[in-house]
Amino acid sequence: MKALSQKRRHPIAGLALLLLGLLITGGLYSVASTMNQAQASNTGSSYSAEDITEGEKLFNANCATCHGVEAVGTEDGPTLIGVGAASVNFQVGTGRMPMQMQGPQAQAKPNQFSDEQTAQLAAYVASLGAGPAIPEEQYLDTDHEDVDLGNGGTLFRVNCAMCHNAAAAGGALTRGKYAPPLAGVSEQHIYEAMITGPQNMPVFSDANIKPEDKRDIIAFLKHIEGQGSPGGASLGSLGPVSEGLLVWTGGLAVLIGFMVWLTSRSS
């Protein structure tokens, strides 16, 4: 036992453990880097070298002022390395980028780039590092035979309604920010928002909500959008609070009007 204890305390043992730890750490880092590079390669595999080159030109002319050369970021804009093609397609496709002015939240507006130019910008950013890719068409098909509107409604109410309102009419957040209404937003942009988490929105990866479930949510949103407001005026779709306020205000106005009419008749 004494001899074994002495071997454990041998000066070379500490060095051997250190080398072993470095070898293990280096091996794990090498495996992770290889997987990341493979993912980046797969993400950009659908883009040609010409798309990436043209996208870089567009980026340098329109985006580098805030996001920096090679998208490394500046004080005015975050780095875009690793945000993926889906983030670019959402931000540029909805007109949020480029921003008109600095503010608490980028405003949706008519987009400044064509679909081809948007795809080229997405190709360039995707080539810089792995990130969420543009969703496949099968997950945007709200008429798919496997779509479950009930499941989509449940998932929306559990994960999204606290910000976007149960009727997807949007809602106010803190410090001048807000959750926008979802009516009129394309299926692709809704899906991309879920996987990229723009602004205050959390990221819903496939580990949180499966692609099929995201499709159900989108189908539910399109379903209620098509329903309109069967009860009449939507009153902002704010629910019983706004409806009760309208009834109270309207009823009070009618009561006051009746009292004025009654007193004028008696005089």
Mean pLDDT of 247-265: 84
Look at 2-6, 167-171, 219-223 and tell me which has the smallest mean pLDDT: 2-6
Contact indicator for 191, 217 with CB cutoff of 8 Å: no
Which residue ranges are tagged as binding site for heme c? 63, 66-67, 160, 163-164
CA dist., res. 199 & res. 180, Å (int): 11
Mean pLDDT of 165-170: 89
Q: Which residue has the higher pLDDT, 91 or 234?
A: 91
pLDDT digits (tens, 9 = 90+) for 40-82: 444 445 789 999 999 999 999 999 999 999 999 999 899 999 9
User: Which band of pLDDT confidence, cut at 50, 70 and 90, is reported for residue 182?
Assistant: very high
- The predicted pLDDT at position 197 comes to 94
CA dist., res. 15 & res. 236, Å (int): 69
- The predicted pLDDT at position 44 comes to 45
Look at 30-34, 80-84, 122-126, 132-136 and tell me which has the smallest mean pLDDT: 30-34
Helix residue ranges per DSSP H, the chain: 2-8, 11-43, 49-62, 64-67, 84-93, 115-128, 149-159, 161-164, 187-196, 211-227, 240-266
In the predicted model, is pLDDT for residue 216 greater than 80?
yes
Q: Which residue has the higher pLDDT, 117 or 34?
A: 117
Q: Which residue has the higher pLDDT, 25 or 170?
A: 170
pTM: 0.73
**Architecture of domain 49-128 in this structure:** Orthogonal Bundle (1.10)
User: Which band of pLDDT confidence, cut at 50, 70 and 90, is reported for residue 241?
Assistant: low
In the predicted model, is pLDDT for residue 87 greater than 90?
yes
User: Which band of pLDDT confidence, cut at 50, 70 and 90, is reported for residue 206?
Assistant: very high
Which residue ranges are tagged as binding site? 63, 66-67, 160, 163-164
CA dist., res. 93 & res. 234, Å (int): 29
Token pair in block for residue 88: 């670019």
Q: Alpha carbon 146 to chain centroid distance? A: 24
Look at 20-29, 52-61, 132-141 and tell me which has the smallest mean pLDDT: 20-29
- The predicted pLDDT at position 37 comes to 42
How big is the chain by its Cα radius of gyration, in Å?
Answer: 28
In the predicted model, is pLDDT for residue 38 greater than 50?
no
Mean pLDDT of 202-207: 93
The sign of the torsion formed by the CA atoms of 120, 126, 131, 136 equals positive
Mean pLDDT of 30-49: 55
CA dist., res. 69 & res. 64, Å (int): 5
Which CATH fold would you assign to the domain 137-231? Cytochrome Bc1 Complex; Chain D, domain 2 (1.10.760)
The sign of the torsion formed by the CA atoms of 166, 170, 176, 177 equals positive
- The predicted pLDDT at position 161 comes to 93
User: Which residues in the chain are classed under CATH 1.10.760.10?
Assistant: 49-128, 137-231
Token pair in block for residue 254: 């009618």
- The predicted pLDDT at position 229 comes to 66
